[in-house]
Structure 1
Amino acid sequence: MTTGHRAPGRLNRRHLLGLAGLAAVPLAGLAVQRIRSGQASAGATAAPGPAESAGPPPSAAAGPRVVVKGGGAVPFRPGRTILGSYLALKDKSFTESLALRRRQTGREQRIVHVFYGWTDTLPARIDGLPAAATPMVSWRGTEYSDITSGGSDALIARAARQLKRLGRPVLLRWGWEMNGDWYRWGTVRNGENPAAFVECWKRLHGIFAEEKANNVSWVWSPNWNPAPAADWNSFKALYPGDRYVDWVGVSGYNLHRETPDTLFDPIYGEFSARKPLMITEVGAVDRGGRTKADWITLFAQWVEAHPAVGGVVWFDTDTHPGYAEKWRVDTDVDSLAAFVAMAKSVRFSG
């Protein structure tokens, strides 16, 4: 949902947020106290999904089994959540935007989210990146045949060498929201063939391994709800397998009064026993009063109640083209206060 890290040639994000045709969930009079630890939304799955690996041993504590390790080059830390954002603020440079959020929250970004097109040269450095921050590079996909044919192997190898030159751990989120109908790399636009998406993912993964880009942590990141909803477009059908994924990500926005349960419980139920989870894009519509602030607090409580969530990346911008909503966290005093409280909590000190 962004033009990227303000570099020429980087992509324009979709104008619909990937939520066309979703079923809205009423949330009249949103109240923070409604969240309950372990609350499940309709459609959440209890099973851990296709069992490619057995996962960690069951915890001695009561409750469902959850992952206790993983993350690859960007390790998951149980009990901690890495907090960062895509940050692009009107009339401010990237460095100025980082400085403003540092003053407001009293802390640095731990993840800095940037976007690149398929044929762009991926970054070997990111100017202004805080010393302790991890870049998350969202890299556009292409038609599957461009990859499965081998015709893009040189381009992929170049990308691997570039990220290797960063000399620090990096999260790579290739072909995100592949279960939507708004991107050229979506399954719906590639013959409704999830096996071809998986083949593409494995080919990229293999070329990066050949280039010894061992600092790359792979983030597989669908949208919270598929479009269309079909077996061939499901999480299970599109998942490349535990060997090829370090983090399971998900995009989900409070656009139509969705609760965090509605947005994130299904993918959490599918993967929390096997892989650390990262909310790779999240934001909330301001409906007046404390609606946005209360949703941020509700979301923070949801993360507290879901121990497999090891990363959150906010969509913190007011420059998204073609969309009037101001996604930035400081649209009003209460929303900023709610975000700062979340950022300063122990859970978000990862």
Structure 2
Amino acid sequence: MHQPSRRSALVGLGLGAASVFSGAASASAAPKPRPGKTTTPSPAPAPAHPLRFGLTNLGGPLASRELDSAASLAGEKPVLIQFFKDFQQAPPVSELDAVVARGATPILTWEPWAAGAGVSQPAYSLAAIAAGAHDGYLRSWGSALASWGKPVMLRFAHEMNGDWYPWSEAVNGNSSGDYVLAWRHVHDVLVAQGATNVRWLWAINAGGPVDIAGLYPGSGYVDVLGIDGYNWGTVGSSWGSTWTPAIGVFGRWLDALRALAPGKEIVVTETACTELGGSKADWIRDAVAYLDAQPDVTGLVWFNLNKETDWRFNSSSSAATAFTTALSARE
């Protein structure tokens, strides 16, 4: 979760969206071909309606009381639960089990870095990943996910079109085409371990400065498209943020995803709204209705944290009421 124009402030502090969890060249150039056998994942299921409600919470899947409280406030249980792990952490089998025990599908955001250590991390350059520097670690994850065996959406190296993570082609010594090579390599290593239960979720930022066209690994390597987008309101008045309706946050980026990968299912993998600069209750009602009207958008994951601002859907009583009403109004 980042706003591009805030990059210097956040990176200077060593902050990334996942830092609260992990203790918990132009990209338009054609990607370099990668030799070797590729695999074709199972077709994505038909988009489900109503729009699925998902949640990212502070404590993650093991924070049962927190998730129960959010479900009670929302008027329904989230059926998508997202959490974050970096390349320092073991396969989170207990957390995956906790998600499934709640009747939900896990979205596991897997970040190739030491979380919070800044964008200059040569050990985690895209070229190093593609060259096999982390293959032992990748194989351990692939084997664990294969043994676990249940469906999981794996959101690897998200917001790659920004410049605030070391897997961006704009930083860390990376070059155009490197992201696709790294993604395909990670995909193939996990598949070789039998992790065919993984659905690969490729998620952009609605505002990143790098062209997404050269970052797409190809339909044989991606099952689900994702997008992260926020209404920052006047939180970042120093860098020019303004109150932005949902169509302004997502519209052109959804069109770009559809043009890049026609027919793919789309999940809004992170979204939220501040209270500063307008009516959060109105924004929530409009955003849920807008996304529910998109036939290929099958999920909305709310970033339910008090971080740069109070993003939680229950940051005020009016926002909480609007959220519950908006969910119940889905068609």
Please indicate the TM-score interval, normalised by the length of the shorter structure. 0.7 to 0.9
Alignment of 1:1-350 (within 5 A): 1=1, 17-20=2-5, 75-88=45-58, 94-126=63-95, 128-129=98-99, 130-141=101-112, 142-191=124-173, 193-227=175-209, 233-255=210-232, 256-272=242-258, 273-287=262-276, 291-318=279-306, 320=307, 323=308, 325-347=309-331
Opposite residue 234 of structure 1, the aligned amino acid is D
Go from structure 1 to structure 2 and tell me whether the alpha carbon gap of 1:161 and 1:343 turns closer, same or farther (over 3 Å shift). farther
Cα deviation for residue 192 of structure 1 reads 5.5
Counterparts of 2:174 and 2:245 in 1: how far apart (Å)? 30
Higher RCO (CA 8 Å, separation ≥ 6 residues): 1
Opposite residue 200 of structure 1, the aligned amino acid is A
Contact 1:74/1:171 (<8 A) preserved: no
Counterparts of 1:148 and 1:155 in 2: how far apart (Å)? 13
Contact 1:276/1:308 (<8 A) preserved: yes
Counterparts of 1:114 and 1:79 in 2: how far apart (Å)? 23
Counterparts of 1:74 and 1:327 in 2: how far apart (Å)? 31
Deviations 1:136-158 (A, max 9, x none): 11111231122122111111111
Q: Secondary structure of the equivalent of 1:234?
A: coil
Opposite residue 275 of structure 2, the aligned amino acid is D
Opposite residue 146 of structure 1, the aligned amino acid is A
Cα deviation for residue 312 of structure 1 reads 1.0
Whose helix fraction is larger, Structure 1's or Structure 2's? 2
Task: Identify unmatched segments of 5+ residues in structure 2.
Answer: 8-29, 31-40, 113-123, 233-241
Contact 2:167/2:174 (<8 A) preserved: no
Counterparts of 2:5 and 2:78 in 1: how far apart (Å)? 31
Contact 1:276/1:310 (<8 A) preserved: yes
Contact 1:125/1:166 (<8 A) preserved: no
Contact 2:73/2:314 (<8 A) preserved: no
Cα deviation for residue 164 of structure 1 reads 2.5
Structure-2 residue corresponding to 1:4: none
Go from structure 1 to structure 2 and tell me whether the alpha carbon gap of 1:160 and 1:342 turns closer, same or farther (over 3 Å shift). farther
Cα root mean square deviation, aligned? 2.6
Opposite residue 249 of structure 2, the aligned amino acid is L
- Percent identical: 26
Cα deviation for residue 170 of structure 1 reads 0.6
Normalization by structure 1: what TM-score? 0.72
Q: Secondary structure of the equivalent of 2:94?
A: coil
Deviations 1:100-145 (A, max 9, x none): 1222233211111110011311212216424320111111123112
Deviations 1:181-227 (A, max 9, x none): 11111111144623110000001111111111111111101111123
Normalization by structure 2: what TM-score? 0.76
Go from structure 1 to structure 2 and tell me whether the alpha carbon gap of 1:242 and 1:188 turns closer, same or farther (over 3 Å shift). same
Counterparts of 1:209 and 1:120 in 2: how far apart (Å)? 20
Q: Secondary structure of the equivalent of 1:132?
A: coil
Moved over 6 A (4+): none
Cα deviation for residue 344 of structure 1 reads 2.4
Q: Secondary structure of the equivalent of 2:208?
A: coil
Task: Identify unmatched segments of 5+ residues in structure 1.
Answer: 2-16, 23-49, 51-70, 228-232
